[in-house]
Amino acid sequence: MSDDCLFCKILKGEIPSTKVYEDEKVYAFKDINPLAKEHYLFIHRSHTANVNEMSDESPEQIAEVYSGISKFTKENGLVDSGYRVVTNIGKHGCQTVFHTHFHVLGGEQLKGFGS
Ligand code: 5GP
Ligand code: ZN
Protein backbone atom coordinates (compact mmCIF):
# COMPACT_ATOMS: atom_id res chain seq x y z
CA MET A 1 0.00 0.00 0.00
CA SER A 2 1.15 3.51 -0.77
CA ASP A 3 -0.39 6.35 1.26
CA ASP A 4 -0.65 8.86 -1.55
CA CYS A 5 -1.81 6.43 -4.23
CA LEU A 6 -5.36 6.87 -5.54
CA PHE A 7 -5.92 3.17 -6.27
CA CYS A 8 -4.52 2.13 -2.86
CA LYS A 9 -7.13 4.51 -1.39
CA ILE A 10 -9.80 2.76 -3.46
CA LEU A 11 -8.52 -0.61 -2.15
CA LYS A 12 -8.75 0.69 1.43
CA GLY A 13 -12.30 1.97 0.78
CA GLU A 14 -11.23 5.59 1.43
CA ILE A 15 -12.43 6.52 -2.06
CA PRO A 16 -15.64 4.87 -3.31
CA SER A 17 -15.62 2.68 -6.41
CA THR A 18 -18.09 0.42 -8.20
CA LYS A 19 -16.72 -3.09 -7.75
CA VAL A 20 -17.20 -5.57 -10.58
CA TYR A 21 -14.83 -8.34 -9.47
CA GLU A 22 -12.62 -9.26 -6.54
CA ASP A 23 -10.65 -12.15 -5.19
CA GLU A 24 -7.90 -12.55 -2.62
CA LYS A 25 -5.30 -10.85 -4.83
CA VAL A 26 -7.20 -8.74 -7.34
CA TYR A 27 -9.80 -5.97 -7.35
CA ALA A 28 -11.67 -4.55 -10.34
CA PHE A 29 -13.98 -1.56 -10.67
CA LYS A 30 -15.68 0.64 -13.25
CA ASP A 31 -13.56 3.40 -14.77
CA ILE A 32 -14.95 6.79 -13.73
CA ASN A 33 -14.51 8.09 -17.30
CA PRO A 34 -15.48 5.15 -19.54
CA LEU A 35 -13.97 5.07 -23.03
CA ALA A 36 -16.22 2.19 -24.15
CA LYS A 37 -19.66 0.88 -23.16
CA GLU A 38 -17.86 -1.37 -20.69
CA HIS A 39 -14.61 -0.09 -19.19
CA TYR A 40 -13.13 -1.67 -16.10
CA LEU A 41 -9.83 -1.34 -14.25
CA PHE A 42 -8.16 -4.47 -12.87
CA ILE A 43 -5.55 -3.95 -10.16
CA HIS A 44 -3.50 -6.10 -7.82
CA ARG A 45 -3.96 -5.51 -4.10
CA SER A 46 -0.16 -5.00 -3.83
CA HIS A 47 1.15 -1.64 -4.96
CA THR A 48 3.53 -1.37 -7.91
CA ALA A 49 3.88 1.69 -10.14
CA ASN A 50 3.58 0.05 -13.55
CA VAL A 51 3.64 -3.33 -15.26
CA ASN A 52 7.43 -3.28 -15.77
CA GLU A 53 7.94 -2.82 -12.04
CA MET A 54 5.39 -5.58 -11.39
CA SER A 55 7.20 -7.86 -13.85
CA ASP A 56 10.60 -7.14 -12.29
CA GLU A 57 9.54 -7.40 -8.64
CA SER A 58 6.61 -9.83 -8.56
CA PRO A 59 5.90 -11.41 -11.94
CA GLU A 60 3.33 -13.80 -10.45
CA GLN A 61 1.11 -10.76 -9.92
CA ILE A 62 0.66 -10.38 -13.69
CA ALA A 63 -0.75 -13.90 -13.86
CA GLU A 64 -2.95 -13.20 -10.84
CA VAL A 65 -4.44 -10.10 -12.45
CA TYR A 66 -4.92 -11.92 -15.77
CA SER A 67 -6.58 -14.81 -13.98
CA GLY A 68 -9.11 -12.31 -12.60
CA ILE A 69 -9.64 -10.81 -16.05
CA SER A 70 -10.13 -14.27 -17.52
CA LYS A 71 -12.69 -15.32 -14.89
CA PHE A 72 -14.57 -12.02 -15.08
CA THR A 73 -14.77 -11.89 -18.89
CA LYS A 74 -15.95 -15.50 -19.06
CA GLU A 75 -18.62 -14.97 -16.42
CA ASN A 76 -19.89 -11.76 -18.02
CA GLY A 77 -19.96 -12.80 -21.68
CA LEU A 78 -17.25 -10.35 -22.68
CA VAL A 79 -15.01 -13.14 -23.89
CA ASP A 80 -17.66 -14.22 -26.42
CA SER A 81 -17.94 -10.80 -28.05
CA GLY A 82 -14.30 -9.86 -27.51
CA TYR A 83 -12.59 -7.14 -25.57
CA ARG A 84 -9.29 -5.27 -25.22
CA VAL A 85 -6.76 -5.12 -22.38
CA VAL A 86 -4.51 -2.06 -22.18
CA THR A 87 -1.89 -1.02 -19.66
CA ASN A 88 -0.34 2.42 -20.07
CA ILE A 89 3.21 3.20 -18.97
CA GLY A 90 4.74 6.65 -18.44
CA LYS A 91 4.28 9.95 -20.24
CA HIS A 92 4.03 8.79 -23.84
CA GLY A 93 1.68 6.02 -22.74
CA CYS A 94 -0.50 8.63 -20.99
CA GLN A 95 -0.32 6.89 -17.61
CA THR A 96 -2.01 9.12 -15.04
CA VAL A 97 -2.36 6.78 -12.04
CA PHE A 98 0.85 5.16 -10.86
CA HIS A 99 -0.61 1.95 -9.42
CA THR A 100 -0.37 -0.78 -12.08
CA HIS A 101 -3.74 -1.21 -13.74
CA PHE A 102 -5.14 -3.04 -16.73
CA HIS A 103 -7.98 -1.39 -18.64
CA VAL A 104 -10.58 -3.88 -19.88
CA LEU A 105 -12.63 -2.34 -22.69
CA GLY A 106 -15.55 -3.88 -24.53
CA GLY A 107 -19.32 -4.11 -24.73
CA GLU A 108 -19.30 -2.65 -28.24
CA GLN A 109 -17.23 -2.76 -31.44
CA LEU A 110 -13.88 -1.08 -30.73
CA LYS A 111 -11.82 0.63 -33.43
CA GLY A 112 -8.89 -1.39 -34.78
CA PHE A 113 -5.40 0.08 -34.70
CA GLY A 114 -5.47 0.41 -38.48
CA SER A 115 -8.96 1.94 -38.77
P1 5GP B 1 -4.26 5.68 -16.98
O2 5GP B 1 -4.48 6.97 -17.70
O3 5GP B 1 -3.30 5.86 -15.82
O4 5GP B 1 -3.91 4.52 -17.85
O5 5GP B 1 -5.68 5.28 -16.38
C6 5GP B 1 -6.19 5.80 -15.20
C7 5GP B 1 -7.68 5.60 -15.27
O8 5GP B 1 -8.21 5.80 -13.96
C9 5GP B 1 -8.40 6.60 -16.20
O10 5GP B 1 -9.08 5.87 -17.23
C11 5GP B 1 -9.35 7.35 -15.26
O12 5GP B 1 -10.60 7.61 -15.86
C13 5GP B 1 -9.47 6.41 -14.08
N14 5GP B 1 -9.71 7.08 -12.81
C15 5GP B 1 -9.05 8.17 -12.31
N16 5GP B 1 -9.52 8.49 -11.09
C17 5GP B 1 -10.49 7.58 -10.80
C18 5GP B 1 -11.36 7.40 -9.67
O19 5GP B 1 -11.33 8.12 -8.67
N20 5GP B 1 -12.24 6.37 -9.74
C21 5GP B 1 -12.32 5.54 -10.83
N22 5GP B 1 -13.23 4.56 -10.79
N23 5GP B 1 -11.51 5.68 -11.90
C24 5GP B 1 -10.62 6.69 -11.89
ZN1 ZN C 1 -1.22 1.96 -5.04
Taking only the tens place, the pLDDT of each residue in 73-113 is 999 999 999 999 999 999 999 999 999 999 999 999 999 98
- pLDDT (0 to 100) of residue 79: 94
Determine whether the shortest distance from the Cβ of 40 to ligand 1 is under 6 A.
no
Clarify whether 101 is annotated catalytic: yes
Q: What percent of the chain has pLDDT over 90?
A: 95
Ligand in nearest proximity to the CA of 49: 2
* Residue of 14, 17, 33, 88 best suited for mutating to test ligand 1, as the one with most atoms within 8 Å of CB: 33
**Tens digits of residue pLDDT in 32-84:** 999 999 999 999 999 999 999 999 999 999 999 999 999 999 999 999 999 99
Q: Check if the beta carbon of residue 45 is closer than 8 Å to that of residue 11.
A: yes
Instruction: Domain ranges for the chain, please list them.
Output: 6-106
CB 95 within 8 A of CB 7: no
Tell if the pTM clears 0.85, that is, is over it.
yes
Beta-sheet strand order (sheet of 83-86): 19-22, 26-30, 38-44, 101-106, 83-86
| CATH class of the 6-106 domain in this structure | alpha beta
